[in-house]
A and B are shown apart, each in its own frame.
Chain A
């Protein structure tokens, strides 16, 4: 689950999907796959050294709505760059994560600013995703233990993955539930629970095959304690294992990209 960079829970769903592609002999009978098998496949399939994507993010809050268009690159575990392309007012604003830390770039100032470690959990660009979600390496396996089970929804069979934090894992959700279609294991949604209260739901749709991997191109995050609000992210283009210049993830590289177009 390394390298893709964004929205870790969705990657778990991808991992589950992968097994359905790579093991055609496995029929969706009553046997549950083991989580270990899933994880192993995941490692092989989704280990991408790098990625390059264009996304559109739509944010709806009780006070305003806005839509951003961004371009993003990741490399390895630690490097990630995200640049806003639209709207014009914010075009050129960027966030960079590299080995030295987390940085914001202000295009008007043509200056970088280090983001203190403490700001990691704040909403990124006003969305409902945190800096953490966007930029941190995935530590899903390390932090959560997952079990799989079958269930039924609206008359259809679904595969439910329940992840609970391992003892001592510094994560906030006491339970993460991913619901997938019983056939084909397309992810439907991921629910984030805090005790008995469901705090957020991420819904997946518009699955496309990218370089042999089925990826849900649209993700909608709904926070339940803020009625009417949501953030929707949709990939408009996505590529894995692209050749990236190492200098891209430096301050110089960031400036170059930010000032382009």
Chain B
């Protein structure tokens, strides 16, 4: 403990120098915390957008045995039974979906669209669709008024192409599952931009019950999207809902991989299996982040190394005396190491405060990058709204890695100076001749 107290006092003896060095570390740690929050936030938004609008963390569909998916590849839908499944602790949300193609338009123009029937209340609570509205409102959960038009939310690019705005009405035709011609009138209540072109350019969202009736598939859906409480524990979620999955298909007919033989039953996939490109992008970003941590800490470390080197050099005489009176070289080395580590940890602690503060500040104020472009419209890529300010959050920040890394690297940085201290020759040191 003596060593620690000595180390501390040594640092205090050169306030400016210690402050400067610690400051450099604080800057590196703080800025990296901020960057991690920003990048982490961006990635989280992109993954959330993809999973919440299109595939869930787990996607449950009918097995098709490798054939192209058709209107008739359905799963049973029992609204009452879902309540039981909702109680699963690992499950954050369960979103039933029914989808089919049809023609939507009016007297001026019409276009092939993808109609998706959703449960408005469940989507409002859990998915990011309701939050991606550019105009209007999300679907209401009220039961439909028979005479009224069917509420619909359109992708923004689709709405533009059909020259449809909130309040406009469109006619919709489709071929129902029993061969009859389903038709209805849609009233546009909202417009969304998600950054996923399938949605923005071609999708219309309506109430699930209405969609089932329209396409003559009452009592069925095409898929269930499952959102997990913890994104990292997706397999737990699959285990937790296993009994329900079996009830959809029959025991032994729940498959985790698309295979050419399983044409009956239920196919269950995680989002990484549905969109491997996205999963790889996440992994890549994390790899890049690590690389940057290391490089930037090494840079910050130069300051530490230099400081300690100077510090040891200055105390040559002091160390020489200590050695002469019997202090072991190892002890001296330990002293230098202790100083370095304390310096680093102090800097890291400061950096933690600084970084967290910066994250919170930008979290309030937002960083608007769209000022860098003259473009007026929406710029959304893979769910990232680039034309709106970015807000950072502590939840996305990696707080402890920078701190831990700095502590660990400090040991490394301490070595040159520590070794020099240990290898000193007492006589030379005291006399001052080098």
Contacts and interface: CB of A to CB of B under 8 A. Distances in A.
Interface residues of A, number: 28
A145 B29 CA distance: 83
A13 B109 CA distance: 38
B181 A93 contact: yes
Interface string B151-178: 0000000000000000001011101011
A142 interface: no
Contact of A113 (B72, B173, B179): B173
B185 interface: yes
Nearest to A126: B179
Nearest to A100: B107
Contacts of B183: 93, 104, 106-109
B106 interface: yes
Contacts of A251: 107
Nearest to B105: A113
Nearest to A127: B179
Interface in B99-117: 103-111
Given A109-B171, A113-B103, A113-B105, A89 B110 contact: no
B180 interface: yes
A111 B103 contact: no
A63 B105 contact: no
A148 to B, nearest CB: 38
B425 interface: no
A125 B105 contact: no
B179 A59 contact: yes
A66 B185 CA distance: 24
Nearest to B106: A113
Contacts of B72: 63
B121 interface: no
Question: Could you say which of B103, B104, B184 has the most chain A C-beta atoms within 10 Å of its C-beta?
Answer: B103
Contacts of A207: none
Interface stretch (A32-40, A45-53, A114-122, A181-189): A114-122
Nearest to B173: A104
Given A63-B72, A119-B103, A113 B181 contact: no
Interface in A90-134: 90, 93, 103-104, 106-109, 111-116, 119, 123, 125-126
A174 interface: no
B304 to A, nearest CB: 69
A114 B105 contact: yes
Contacts of A59: 179
B191 to A, nearest CB: 20
Given A111-B106, A112-B107, A126 B173 contact: no
Contacts of B108: 114
B255 to A, nearest CB: 23
B184 A108 contact: yes
A90 B110 contact: no
A247 B224 CA distance: 50
A205 interface: no
Contact of B171 (A61, A63, A112): A112
Nearest to A115: B110
Contacts of A65: 179
Contacts of B181: 84, 90, 93, 125-126
Given A111-B106, A113-B106, A113-B110, A106 B185 contact: yes
27 contacts: A64-B177, A66-B180, A84-B181, A103-B107, A104-B171, A104-B173, A106-B171, A106-B173, A106-B183, A108-B185, A109-B149, A109-B169, A109-B171, A109-B184, A111-B107, A111-B169, A112-B106, A112-B171, A113-B105, A113-B106, A113-B107, A113-B173, A114-B107, A114-B109, A115-B110, A123-B175, A126-B181
Interface of B: 72, 103-111, 149, 169, 171-173, 175, 177-181, 183-185
